[in-house]
Amino acid sequence: MNSVIQKATRIIIKVGSSLVTNDGRGLDHAAIARWAAQIAALRTLGKEVVLVSSGAIAEGMLRLGFEQRPTDIHELQACAAVGQMGLAQIYETSFRAHQLGTAQVLLTHADLADRERYLNARSTLTTLLRLGVVPIINENDTVVTDEIKFGDNDTLGALVANLIEADALIILTDQQGLYSADPRKDPSAVLIQQGRAGDLALEAMAGGAGSSLGRGGMLTKILAAKRAAKSGAHTVIAYGREHDVLERLAGGEAIGTELAAQTGHLTARKQWMADHLHTAGQVVLDAGAVQKLSKEGKSLLPIGVVEVKGEFGRGAVITCVGADGAPVARGLSNYTSAETRRIMRKPSSEIEAVLGFVEGQELIHRDNLVLV
């Protein structure tokens, strides 16, 4: 028995190129339909699922008649753009059969390194989940060159797990999980059933990709598990064609390799905020807001802010202090310092009238706030 996926509410599922394209023979419609059915079943169990799917380049190669992966970066980008249409089409059709809508989200690593884009991506994804849609994510291959050379969606899966604080990352691939050595090269290799995300010994076992389609191999999966663990997400690496793999994992069955995170969400988030020693600015709160934040676990609304110190942009980490200057909390600001000055002391219902737009009812949402 293994309860990591059973207990998880928010799950990122990554399906690799070799799996989605059935080793290059075009998109495997039947397999995609089976995953859609399993994800629909997970949703009826109350789980929120985000899918990270590779396969655009492989499908684009097929559609454009390339027999081998092009070496020209722009041809690769063209393949990705063509193939992404096929991916979007098949996912939308497969999930519709279960009355589920899908959304296409194309991201780059740089998007997630930029605080403002990070917040926007986070809000869009959580809104899609709230609306009952299954987001289907892939790398935005049109605008990057470095990532497309190494083509690795394992890292993207981990970044998305960090972004929306998923409880678990499931990496579906063409092997049963992590073996003590590459099983394609070493027949005596044994399956590692459990490990600690971040354990260096695991990195030594993992090799590169075994096929010409998958690019990252097992090492990027192990590193993805390490990265996902930073926000408290556990990782399971499993064979994507295993019968009912997702439902069985959700039922508590031990399948594949489980790499457990050592820190919980909150600790991880606090650590992240704590790392931002140089916060960009300060907001001074009235006594009511201090009470709401520190005693009632509420978000910070603009009405509770009486003064803004320093200059900061949207998505910056700012410090909330009481009237006496004592720090109360830190968090990501939904508004710039200039905007905050205009909406402070005002009810959130007036934000739109004052600024002409609304980024959120809160200045800092409680999910983006830690008490200090």
- Answer for which of 26, 210, 251, 322 binds ligand ADP (CB under 6 A) is 210
Burial 75-97 (b: 16+ CB within 10 A, else e): bbbbbbebbbebbbebbbebbee
Which residue from 48, 152, 167, 359 is in contact with ligand VHF, where contact means CB under 6 A?
152
Among 181, 260, 370, 372, the residue binding ligand ADP under the rule CB under 6 A is: 181
Determine, following the binding rule CB under 6 A, whether residue 21 of this chain makes contact with ligand ADP.
no
Q: Do 260 and 234 contact (CB within 8 A), yes or no?
A: yes
Contacts with ligand VHF, 172-191, as mask; x by CB under 6 A: --------------------
Residue (of 270, 275, 292, 280) closest to 369 by Cα position = 270
Residue 141 site contact among ligand VHF, ligand ADP, none (CB < 5 to 8 Å, cut-off depends on kind):
ligand VHF
Site string for ligand ADP, 60-99 (x = CB under 6 A): ----------------------------------------
Q: Is 219 near ligand VHF (CB under 6 A)?
A: no
Closest approach, Cβ 178 to ligand ADP, in A, equals 5
How many Å apart are CA 76 and CA 141, to the nearest integer? 8
Residue 368 binds to ligand VHF (criterion: CB under 6 A): no
Candidate list 162, 173, 337, 340; residue touching ligand ADP; CB under 6 A: 173
Binding at 322: pick from ligand ADP, ligand VHF, none (beta carbon under 5-8 Å per type): none
Quickly list DSSP for 4-40.
HHHH-SEEEEEE-HHHHTTTTSS--HHHHHHHHHHHH
- CA dist., res. 251 & res. 246, Å (int): 9
Amino acid at 1: M
Per CB under 6 A, the list member of 86, 183, 198, 216 interacting with ligand VHF is: 216
Which entry of ligand ADP, ligand VHF, none binds 181, CB below 5 to 8 A by partner kind? ligand ADP
- Tell whether residue 58 is a contact of ligand ADP (CB under 6 A): no
The side-by-side arrangement of strands in the sheet containing 281-285 is 305-309, 281-285, 317-321, 327-332, 369-371
End-to-end CA distance of the chain: 38
Contact at 8 Å (CB) between 316 and 281? yes
User: Which residues make up the interface to ligand ADP (CB under 6 A)?
Assistant: 16-19, 173-175, 178-179, 181-184, 205-207, 209-211, 214-218
Please give the residue ranges that form the binding site for ligand VHF (CB under 6 A): 16-17, 54-58, 80, 138-139, 141, 151-154, 214-216
